[in-house]
């Protein structure tokens, strides 16, 4: 009311301004009053906007926490992480600490994959596929670095080898089997060219791992005990260069390995895709940082409990490293690969499963060798004869299964059965003591 009265007065002064030149100061003062009125109204509305935005931010944060930490059923396993830390300090029973740490890391690995998928909506399919493979392998990388610091070189080698075997046989096999059962009336197809590129990189990784092992077991080193390490470090640098070239090829090429070549997306599928945008870009990045930090904390307790768990559970360290640890670390890839296979998007399934194996063999393993080099640890590519032969046969089997560019439930079943044979083999396999003892033993036996 007061504002309207003032405006009437101002209008009168402005009217007199046209007839009386002496009223110019009064007109200028009236304009100032108008500016104050408008500024007052603006400030009032800004206060309301700030309040509404703060309420929105609070609602957004609570919804983000609900979506990431509560909504998924697998989050029921999250309390086992803190419980494992309590058991570590209260009881010191390595078997239970190892078991509960595995259970606690499992939902974290799956949530890492979920946050990566949410971030992939904003980065595009190519970068999103690479992010999915990278953060899907974050668990393995963190565990490997902690084990490397503890000088558990064989655990690093075997856990990374087991991750490759798990992705190529178990994850891909379950995806093929599930997709074949759901779509049993049709033949599922995928981009054969992308599968050939990944198979070629895997064979190159086998070459880099095979030659140091052959050099070691044929006792043909020029410098005994040093040539294998030097060759491993040189080969690791070459493999990192090859993987960097592969990334450049992926990001610059016209064809996208991580997205379907012949997408038949109807409106229903597009609406489903839009509904999956549950996190903003910055929320996904923040959750990735939080989850990675929590995985890092639990990985330290997991590595410390491996040796004690091997003795208390009466299992070899090789079986724990090759079979148990990768199943936990590959939880995100396992869920993603099966989900995309059920949706008949096998190109993304291949990108997740085989792309993850390619990244571990061509990036994570050489990266650990280089990191060990910087840390003064003698981490090499000599994975011993049994492990190297297993990797070589596995790559050949998977490459043979993918050469036609088609999949069905029978191929998936064959891959799963092959993984059971590998698991049984490592269950009865007795690994040499640890670290550098096998090399010393061979020198003495000669």
- 3 state SS of 278: coil
Instruction: Examine residue 263 and state whether it is found in any structural domain, yes or no.
Output: no
The overall longest dimension of the chain from CA atoms, in Å, is 118
Instruction: Examine residue 357 and state whether it is found in any structural domain, yes or no.
Output: yes
Instruction: Examine residue 274 and state whether it is found in any structural domain, yes or no.
Output: no
329 and 143 Cβ atoms separated by less than 8 Å: yes
CA 16 to each of CA 6, 33, 133: distance values in angstroms, whole numbers, following the listed order: 16, 17, 76
Our count of domains for the chain comes to 1
Q: What residues pair up with 407 in beta bridges, in sequence order?
A: 188
Q: CB-based contacts of 107: which residues, under 8 Å, 6+ apart? A: 72, 74, 75, 76, 77, 78, 331
Instruction: Examine residue 416 and state whether it is found in any structural domain, yes or no.
Output: yes
14 and 27 Cβ atoms separated by less than 8 Å: yes
Which pLDDT belongs to residue 438? 44
Residue appearing with tokens 């639990």: 298
**Structural domain span for residue 299:** 54-254+279-428
Which pLDDT belongs to residue 361? 92
Residues shown for the chain: 446
Instruction: Examine residue 33 and state whether it is found in any structural domain, yes or no.
Output: no
Which pLDDT belongs to residue 118? 81
Q: Could you read off the pLDDT of 196-243 as tens digits, one per residue?
A: 888 899 999 999 999 999 998 888 878 777 889 999 999 999 999 999
Query: Alpha helices, DSSP H only, in 166-191?
Result: 172-182
CB atoms within 10 A of CB 67: 17
Q: What residues pair up with 286 in beta bridges, in sequence order?
A: none
Can you give the CATH number for the domain in which 364 is found? 1.20.1420.30
Give every residue of the chain whose pLDDT is below 50, as ranges: 1-7, 9-10, 13-29, 33-34, 37-48, 50, 254-255, 257-275, 434-446
Instruction: Examine residue 154 and state whether it is found in any structural domain, yes or no.
Output: yes
Best CA proximity match to 307, nearest among 181, 86, 154: 154
Instruction: Examine residue 303 and state whether it is found in any structural domain, yes or no.
Output: yes
Instruction: Examine residue 262 and state whether it is found in any structural domain, yes or no.
Output: no
CB atoms within 10 A of CB 49: 10
Q: Report d(CA 246, CA 208) in Å as an integer.
A: 16
213 and 235 Cβ atoms separated by less than 8 Å: no
């Amino acid at each position: 009311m007061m504002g309207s009265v003032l405006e009437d007065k101002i209008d009168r002064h402005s009217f007199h301004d046209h007839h009386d030149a002496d009223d110019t100061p009064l007109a200028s003062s009236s304009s100032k009053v108008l500016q104050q009125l408008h500024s007052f109204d603006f400030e009032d509305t800004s206060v309301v906007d700030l309040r509404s935005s703060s309420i929105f931010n609070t609602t957004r944060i609570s919804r983000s926490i609900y979506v990431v930490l509560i909504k998924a059923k697998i989050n029921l396993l999250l309390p086992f992480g803190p419980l494992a830390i309590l058991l570590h300090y209260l009881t010191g029973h390595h078997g239970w600490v190892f078991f509960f740490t595995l259970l606690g890391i499992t939902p974290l690995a799956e949530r890492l994959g979920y946050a990566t998928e949410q971030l992939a909506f904003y980065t595009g399919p190519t970068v999103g596929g690479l992010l999915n493979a990278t953060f899907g392998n974050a668990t393995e990388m963190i565990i490997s670095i902690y084990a490397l610091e503890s000088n558990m070189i064989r655990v690093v080698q075997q856990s990374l080898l087991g991750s490759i075997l798990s992705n190529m046989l178990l994850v891909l096999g379950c995806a093929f089997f599930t997709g074949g059962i759901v779509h049993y009336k049709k033949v599922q197809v995928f981009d054969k060219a992308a599968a050939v590129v990944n198979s070629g990189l895997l064979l190159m990784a086998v070459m880099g791992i095979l030659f140091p092992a052959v050099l070691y077991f044929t006792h043909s080193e020029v410098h005994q005990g040093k040539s294998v390490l030097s060759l491993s470090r040189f080969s690791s640098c070459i493999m990192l260069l090859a993987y960097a070239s592969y990334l450049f090829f992926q990001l610059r090429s016209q064809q996208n390995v991580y997205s379907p070549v012949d997408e038949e997306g109807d409106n229903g599928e597009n609406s489903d895709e839009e509904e999956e945008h549950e996190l903003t870009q910055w929320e996904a990045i923040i959750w990735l940082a939080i989850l990675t930090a929590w995985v890092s904390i639990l990985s330290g307790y997991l590595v410390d409990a491996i040796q004690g768990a091997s003795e208390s559970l009466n299992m070899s360290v090789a079986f724990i490293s090759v079979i148990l640890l990768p199943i936990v670390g590959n939880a995100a890839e396992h869920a993603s690969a099966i989900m995309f296979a059920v949706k008949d998007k096998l190109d993304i399934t291949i990108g997740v499963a085989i792309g993850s194996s390619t990244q571990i063999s061509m990036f994570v393993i050489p990266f650990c060798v280089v990191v060990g080099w910087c840390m003064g640890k003698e981490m090499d590519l000599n994975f011993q004869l049994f492990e190297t032969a297993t990797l070589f046969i596995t790559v050949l089997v998977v490459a043979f299964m993918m050469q036609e560019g088609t999949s069905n439930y029978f191929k998936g079943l064959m891959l799963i059965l092959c993984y059971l044979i590998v698991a049984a083999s490592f269950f009865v396999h007795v690994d040499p003591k640890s670290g550098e003892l096998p090399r010393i033993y061979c020198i003495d036996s000669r």
